[in-house]
Amino acid sequence: MCGSSPVTMKPIIIISTYPNKKSISKIANELVKNKTVACVNISKISSIYSWKGKVENSSEYLAIFKTITKNKTLLKKKIKETHPYDVPEIAEIDVTSIDKSYLKWLVESTT
């Protein structure tokens, strides 16, 4: 972590939902490979939401992207560029507490 400020090494979580596993798997693999994220958790979920005046019930995949602050702008840009939805969810979760050994792994995996 030499030369990096504590602010840029702060852990961050970005969440988004995708229509199918294929649409998230490709970008998740690319983001881990190029060290934009350390990890992407993908879970099948049921979503109930309002879209164009109708209540929708559908299956989606929730993606939890784990990274550090210095990568968040690039991550959000990549999600927006590759996302199949017209209005993708890109929600940032501020991590206020994290296990030190997990943080060490997170930083090493994204730098």
pTM for the model: 0.89
In a domain, 19, yes or no: yes
DSSP label at 26?
A: H
What is the full DSSP assignment across 28-60? HHHHHHTTS-SEEEEEEEEEEEEETTEEEEEEE
Alpha-carbon gap, residue 103 to 10, rounded angstroms: 8
Alpha-carbon gap, residue 49 to 33, rounded angstroms: 33
* Host domain of residue 92: 12-109
Alpha-carbon gap, residue 65 to 110, rounded angstroms: 12
In a domain, 90, yes or no: yes
In the predicted model, is pLDDT for residue 92 greater than 90?
Answer: yes
Per-residue pLDDT tens over the stretch 44-83: 999 999 999 999 999 999 999 999 999 999 999 999 999 9
CATH code where residue 75 lies: 3.30.70.120
- In the three-class reduction of DSSP (H, G, I as helix; E, B as strand; rest coil), residue 11 is classed as strand
